[in-house]
Chains A and B, each alone.
Chain A
Amino acid sequence: MKILPFLNVVLVGGGLLLAGAPSAARATLGEPAASVAADAAQMNATAGANPEHPMPGLSAQNAPTSANFTVEQITTPDGTVVSEYVDQGGTVFAVTWHGAIPPDVRTLLGTYFKQYSDAADTGAPSPFGLHASSVHASDVTVQTGGHMGFMWGRAYLPARMPAGVGLSEIK
């Protein structure tokens, strides 16, 4: 076997970040829904989805709806739309984005950013190639893709996924 697909699946810092441990930074993932406003301020973003190039009729464009969560959307100055998924307890358990220029993922992931970036940097090629990545850190999973001109990504906390919510709903 020549491919090394497992290299992108490195567990980092297991046990250091216990449930609920993220500090009260402006971080969003794992934080109360109120942190969405802090994110928006940090990224000079505006409320709602105002993409540079709308995609009418496409489900990926519209805010997903569910009885199990709510979605708050903001738009960065680059026209990139960020959707924050909030559970019924008011905690952000997932974040997605799409647009030409990636958003400030450091701010969106908050305290989870370091374990993500450490796990992503394996020193080996992404087994998926140029335009796709799937990184499973100890507490957060981040998948990114797209092409030059349109980047897509999602980050979620597997342990915080509300009951009854499928991964296909995080888009």
Chain B
Amino acid sequence: MKPRTVLVLAIVVTLLATLTMLAFAKPGFAAADNVMNANVNGGVTNQNVDQPFGAIKICTPGTQQCQILSGLLIDTASFGLRIFPQALTVHLPGQMSGPDLVSECAFFGSFTAWGRVATADVTMGNEPTIQSLPVQIMNPNFPAAGHRPGRCNQTGLPFARNPQQLNFNGILGIGMLQYDGVDTLYYTCTTTHCTATTQPLDLQVQNPVALLPVDNNGVLLKFPLPPANGALSLTGQLIFGINTEPNNQIPSSFKEYTADANLQFTTAFQGRRQPGFLDSGSNGYFYDNPYLPLCPGSLSPWYCPAGLTGQSATNIGSDRINRGAVNFAIADANVLFATPNAAFYDLGANLGPGMFDWGLPFFLGRRVFVGIDGKTVSGVNEPPPFWAFNAN
């Protein structure tokens, strides 16, 4: 090789290396790597509304055997990744406890998730891959039909069985905690019998956001606002981290509402106070307004007021420092469901006075930050867990 060729090669290599470094620098020239698309659509059966879905890359740990797994319901009211085995094409090894498989019972308001714990390498957006993330594989017949432990069988709600039954391939729980162990039940199972166990923290099913190297203190969910009669679909964004990148800064006009040990703030409505929470995993505003008409017949207890009806509630942070009113609207669900649309900002139901559930309609047209308990967010006065959002 001639000296001149060597010199040219060296220059080219140096240039390439510099360009590569520039491309990966932060804040950088490349597109933001902390973003996942969040699509509101009818779901895997195209039969539901107001549910936001995301996709991840999921791999057998330590290998290049991977798939893109879409149809994951993005849920701010749970923590951890839970997947139906029917949606998986890659093998995810089970987490073992000696010779036994670890399994879990997780409770949701409309079903119970039972099944083994497995590990997976997971990539969200262009964030660095999370290696060997503990996830739940939802299967009511694990370890064999009829062998679920009794305590998992006592709710009366159905078990999560398959994507067609529940309208998603899995749940991407990105709520306020990193670990799910306080609120679920863990077991070790032989092929026929499961025994209650205490799962070490680092082996529990975990909110994957909390394991990102930098953008790990929470998320920002943002969606455009659809028309009053809804939209066929909406494309929003799930952005990782809070005040860690140019695209996830909390505006100074936003208030932080802290959550208590139950992961709730207080919502005051019509002079009554109840626990409140922000819930992208549910489809409506669920709260008790005894004066708002319910839909007739089988559509009850959805609300069916005559025309778009304004409502107002006040949220109070658990530390009582911040409070703020939220104005929202409820439309006639009968009219909304008669459209082909799947994204509504004005859908609500009366499911009783126990809680004020701010479901996905609240998130449409808003930017909502969810701060994870135990993490640090720079530039805010109150530590997580908190929610921050534009009021109206």
Which A residues lie at the B interface, using CB under 8 A?
1-6, 9, 52-53, 55, 57-60, 96, 98, 100-107, 109, 113, 116-117, 120-134, 142-154, 166-168, 170-171
Q: List 26 A-B contacts (CB under 8 A).
A: A1-B337, A2-B47, A5-B299, A5-B302, A6-B299, A52-B261, A57-B266, A96-B354, A105-B156, A125-B45, A125-B110, A125-B166, A126-B110, A128-B109, A128-B110, A129-B50, A129-B51, A129-B359, A133-B111, A133-B157, A144-B110, A144-B155, A145-B357, A146-B354, A150-B275, A171-B353
C-alpha spacing A129/B351, complex, angstroms: 12
Q: Determine whether the beta carbon of A3 is less than 8 Å from that of B260.
A: no
With A105-B156, A109-B156: A167-B107 Cβ-Cβ less than 8 Å: no
Chain B at the A interface: mostly helix, strand, loop or mixed? loop
* Bound-complex Cα distance A94 to B273 (A): 21
Q: Is the CB of B157 within 8 A of A145?
A: no
Given contacts A53-B260, A125-B45, contact A147 B77 (CB under 8 A): yes
A148-B106 CB under 8 A given contacts A1-B337, A58-B273, A124-B47: yes
B117 interface hit (Cβ, 8 Å): no
A166 to chain B, nearest CB (A): 7
From A5, A57, A109, A170, name the one whose CB has the most chain B CB atoms within 10 angstroms: A5
List chain A residues, Cβ under 8 A from B354.
Answer: 60, 96, 98, 145-146, 152-154, 171
B49 to chain A, nearest CB (A): 5
**Which residues does chain A contribute within 8 Å of B5, judged by CB atoms?**
none
* Closest chain A CB from B199 CB (angstroms): 15
- The reply to whether A5 and B337 form a contact with Cβ atoms under 8 Å apart is yes
Known A104-B154, A167-B352; further 13 A-B contacts with Cβ < 8 A: A3-B47, A6-B298, A55-B262, A98-B354, A102-B107, A109-B156, A128-B109, A131-B282, A143-B351, A148-B180, A149-B177, A166-B290, A168-B288
Q: Are A101 and B107 in contact (CB under 8 A)?
A: yes
Bound form: Cα–Cα A129–B280 in Å: 9
Contact B284 A128 (CB under 8 A): yes
Q: Which residues of B contact A145 (CB under 8 A)?
A: 109, 286, 351-352, 354-355, 357
Quick one: given A5-B337, A145-B286, are A55 and B275 in contact (CB under 8 Å)?
yes
Q: How far is the CB of A97 from chain B (nearest CB, A)?
A: 9
A2 touches B46 (CB 8 A): yes
- CA A129 – CA B177 in complex, angstroms? 21
A1 touches B155 (CB 8 A): no
For chain B, residues 337 to 353, give those with C-beta under 8 angstroms from any C-beta of chain A.
337-338, 340, 342, 349, 351-353
Q: CA of A134 to CA of B284 in the docked complex: distance in angstroms?
A: 13
Asked if B60 lies at the interface with its beta carbon under 8 angstroms from chain A, I say no
Whether A100 pairs with B183 at a CB distance below 8 angstroms is yes
Q: Which of A3, A120, A148 is in CB contact (< 8 Å) with B337? A: A3
Q: In the complex, are the beta carbons of A128 and B286 less than 8 A apart?
A: yes
CB proximity of A30 to chain B, nearest CB, Å: 16
Q: Is B78 engaged at the interface, CB distance under 8 Å to the other chain?
A: yes
Q: Chain B 276-316 against A: per-residue CB contact (8 Å), 1 yes, 0 no?
A: 01010111101010100000011111100000000000000
CB distance from A105 to the nearest CB of B (A): 5
> Which of B43, B153, B261, B353: most chain A Cβ within 10 A?
B353
